[in-house]
Structure 1
Amino acid sequence: MKKTAIFEQVVDIMRTDSSTKKDLTGADPEIYRKKIIDDMSEEEFLYQMHCYLASFGVLGHVSFFKKNSKPAPFRLRRQGNVLYVVEADPATNLQKGDEIIALDGREIMALYQEHRTYFTSPTEERQAQEWKYFMLKAESLTVMRAGKKSEIQVQKVNHVQEAHFEVKCLTPDTVYLKMEDFSSEEKIGNLYQEAIPLLDKAKYLIIDVRVNHGGSDSLYFPLLRYALPTGKSLLDLDVPSPGMEVLYTERNVDLRRALFEQELEDEHLSEESRQFLLEFVKELTLHRGKGYVVHQDDESEMAYLADIVGLGKPEKVFILSDVGCGSSGDNFVQIMKEMPKVTVLGRSTMGILDYSNCCFVDFDEYRLLFPTSRNLAIDAGEGMNDKGVEPTIFIPWTPEHLERDVDLEECLKLCQEG
């Protein structure tokens, strides 16, 4: 398929099928029609497509990429003129704590100004994904490592780092859970099986979602019983819920129905998740071609939530949050923050729930991701785009976080204070 034809289809989808269309128009396509030609290089094509979609200002849920692309196995955080390596696979030639001060001799701030249209967000902590692109492209990185300046090159690796899940007792009465997504159903099920005997005796529960790539809300529902007041369900609480509307175009419905039907074939799918997916398919069929329709909670979901009742233990729950937590992770932190015995520590989440429930469109070797639902909080001026869910206790990120777990230490102090 020709590159110019792909661009025109993407423009049409963003104007017709993306749930952002009510609020966001993006850049004038004419700007990119002058830049995108059929015989341009693939790298330049992907760059220009990214710039066009970045103009919509939607993090995470609007993107265009090669289908066989893999996420770079390192994490970054920008502060001013420095890119800090927060985590890295050793095979990349990067180390945790590296301070990247220049790419191919260009300072970070200068590169940002030159390529500003490539960045979806103006906030530094939400630019990590775009900076990965420039780091992988650079032939030389100027790095401060252990006080010494050197020149290195990032090595590309073929393997993908899997999401990490962990349960352990930090003290005799404190249980720690780490969950890096809400999509790995089999791993999450195993985590819960291991954690439940510990949680039944714990006084404090710490849930670390500072890195959480989202997934399905239903996979964190079992945790609600540990955060809810004793004997109360989520339906008993006055939890703010602005609701959402779903854009049911014919293309959206066909794409999402195909996606759900594929997921239903997963042999590891739990019965609860299967029922949720079947309800989604039913709604898609019912509303196909009707445009925006306000979502109504179905009876099976309400009944499921009504059965999740708060337990007496743990006495207190702490959530560790950061900008690496998004999508269903945003929702998890937002809901948990409303619970009386929950305290959220750290920094704001990514904040990508304004537009969600995404689907894919394939164009030969390329793929477009776009959202089909819209959070009604936007209408009240309370959207979370580029803001995220704020913590109860804000702990600013500093390079000291690279040397020790500042957030967890603060959390343990609160546990000791009772």
Structure 2
Amino acid sequence: MESKGELTPTLFSEIVQDYLLDFNDPHLFFNLRDSQKEYDNGFRVRRYEDKLYVTTRTNENRFKQGDAILSLDEIPVLELVEKHQRELMETKAEREDWRKVISKYNVAEVIDTNGNIRSLELKKYEKAAYKPQHTIERIDTNTLHMTLSDFWDHAPIDNLLEKHQEDFSNMSNLIIDVRLNLGGSDHSFNNLQEFLFPIGVNKIDLSFYNMKVNCTNTNADLMIHSIEEELQKMEDSEYREELKQWKEETWEKHRGVGFVNLNKENAMEEYEITGVDIPKNVVVLADNYCGSAGDIFVFLCKQSPKVTVLGRPTKGVNDYSNLSVKQWEDQFELMYATSRLDQLDTRRPDAEQGIKPDVYIPWTPEHINKDIDLEEAMKLIQEK
């Protein structure tokens, strides 16, 4: 293909991504770098029974939310599930990610909300840029609704807490929406933690996240480089100190050693959080689009007696985590894990991944036009 001039950066990326599927690791990525244009079909779907329901649109305006795909290239949806098990990597319909599967097909058979059926030739669009959402709104006199779409940086969250300081000290109820959280760093929500726990000192069991870090020479070089880049941008002294400690005590100290058990060295199994009295009730909305640091956030919330997690299990990608980045020129990057959870060898609650909610609400097409999770959260708060 390369000799014929047919191997584009996008096609090469797709070939490598397909190869990586066999590792069965949702925390393993091969991406085009920012300088390279990425394309998708301009919409996103979620499966319910034998249909793929359009839940969101970016560039594809021929669909409406609530339309459903019956088949792709005349192959019914349930046959597609069986055919593309490698890409879907899931056993539950509501957890499947169909974006890469749909991009392989040309024609979709679509039924609209009135029952009309038509065929649409699928198009590819330049991928829409991600728009972070870190917001707080008042639902009623006693309830705040906070939406956090990522934990990439602590600044947006800290700014929200500062801006709404008075609200936080007066509101009885807080709803935190991390259903679409893309992850990042668990340091980013440090200053939010006190609102999640009851007043006084709370001891948190973190043994669930006991892990070994693979401190090879290559991993150390890449991680130290990434940390130093981050330190140049970071102004907050507390976060700088934590990053420096991560660099020095893990990667510089153990460089070239291989797998290192950091839990014993850092006494990770128990962690203390000093909580506050207000808010009295916290509800966290979760879904399988919430992963990485989002998984950790929801796990932490489940340790608090004043938090109820509601929705669906999180993505559950932290079996292998602490991603390192290897870049090639200005075109490609491989993001791969440098740590591995001990529980993979010792204990496993069940085969299904993700942090499970306290109150499970199955996804149905009704979620498309109505925020059922938020309604249930408000009912829960009123009962309390």
Q: Shorter-chain TM-score: what band?
A: 0.7 to 0.9
Which of 295, 298, 304 matches 1:339?
A: 304
Partner Cα distance (2:127, 2:298) in 1 = 32
1:294 corresponds to: 261
Relative distance call for 1:50 and 1:408 in structure 2 (3 A) is: same
Instruction: Please report how far the alpha carbon of residue 137 of structure 1 lies from its aligned counterpart in structure 2 after TM superposition.
Output: 4.3
Instruction: Please report how far the alpha carbon of residue 84 of structure 1 lies from its aligned counterpart in structure 2 after TM superposition.
Output: 1.6
- Alignment check: 8 A CA contact 1:247 1:293 kept: yes
1:53 corresponds to: 20
Which of 118, 125, 147 matches 1:150?
A: 118
Which of 78, 81, 86 matches 2:47?
A: 78
- Aligned residue type for 1:189: D
Instruction: Please report how far the alpha carbon of residue 188 of structure 1 lies from its aligned counterpart in structure 2 after TM superposition.
Output: 2.2
2:73 corresponds to: 104
- Alignment check: 8 A CA contact 1:93 1:155 kept: no
Does the alignment pair 1:417 with 2:367? Answer: no
Structure with more of its chain in helix, by fraction = 1
Does the alignment pair 1:259 with 2:235? Answer: no
Q: Which moved more, 1:371-380 or 1:239-248?
A: 239-248
2:368 corresponds to: 402
Partner Cα distance (1:330, 1:85) in 2 = 25
- Aligned residue type for 2:370: R
Which of 260, 267, 277 matches 1:312?
A: 277
Q: TM-score, normalised by structure 1?
A: 0.81
Which of 251, 263, 275 matches 1:284?
A: 251
Q: Which moved more, 1:186-195 or 1:316-325?
A: 186-195
Structure with more of its chain in strand, by fraction = 2
Partner Cα distance (1:381, 1:299) in 2 = 22
Does the alignment pair 1:360 with 2:325? Answer: yes
Relative distance call for 1:93 and 1:251 in structure 2 (3 A) is: farther
Partner Cα distance (2:366, 2:353) in 1 = 24
Relative distance call for 1:301 and 1:279 in structure 2 (3 A) is: farther
Partner Cα distance (2:231, 2:267) in 1 = 17
Partner Cα distance (1:140, 1:327) in 2 = 34
- Aligned residue type for 1:320: L
**SS of residue paired to 2:336:** strand
Does the alignment pair 1:189 with 2:158? Answer: yes
Q: TM-score, normalised by structure 2?
A: 0.88
Q: Which moved more, 1:97-106 or 1:334-343?
A: 97-106
Instruction: Please report how far the alpha carbon of residue 362 of structure 1 lies from its aligned counterpart in structure 2 after TM superposition.
Output: 2.4
**SS of residue paired to 2:164:** helix
- Alignment check: 8 A CA contact 2:54 2:64 kept: yes
Relative distance call for 1:412 and 1:352 in structure 2 (3 A) is: same
Aligned length: 376
Q: Which moved more, 1:348-357 or 1:157-166?
A: 157-166
Give the 5 Å matches for 1:13-412.
41-42=7-8, 45-59=12-26, 61-67=27-33, 68=36, 70=38, 72=40, 74-91=43-60, 93-128=62-97, 131-147=98-114, 148-152=116-120, 153-233=122-202, 236-238=203-205, 240-266=207-233, 269-282=235-248, 283-296=250-263, 308-364=273-329, 365-382=331-348, 386-412=352-378
1:318-343, CA deviations, whole angstroms, 9 ceiling, x for partnerless residues? 11111011000000001110101111
- Alignment check: 8 A CA contact 2:168 2:279 kept: yes
Runs (4+) of structure 1 exceeding 6 A deviation are 37-40, 297-303
How big is the alpha-carbon RMSD for the aligned residues of Structure 1 and Structure 2?
Answer: 2.9
Partner Cα distance (1:297, 1:169) in 2 = 43
Instruction: Using the aligned pairs only, state the percent identity.
Output: 30
Q: Which moved more, 1:135-144 or 1:161-170?
A: 135-144
Instruction: Please report how far the alpha carbon of residue 101 of structure 1 lies from its aligned counterpart in structure 2 after TM superposition.
Output: 1.7
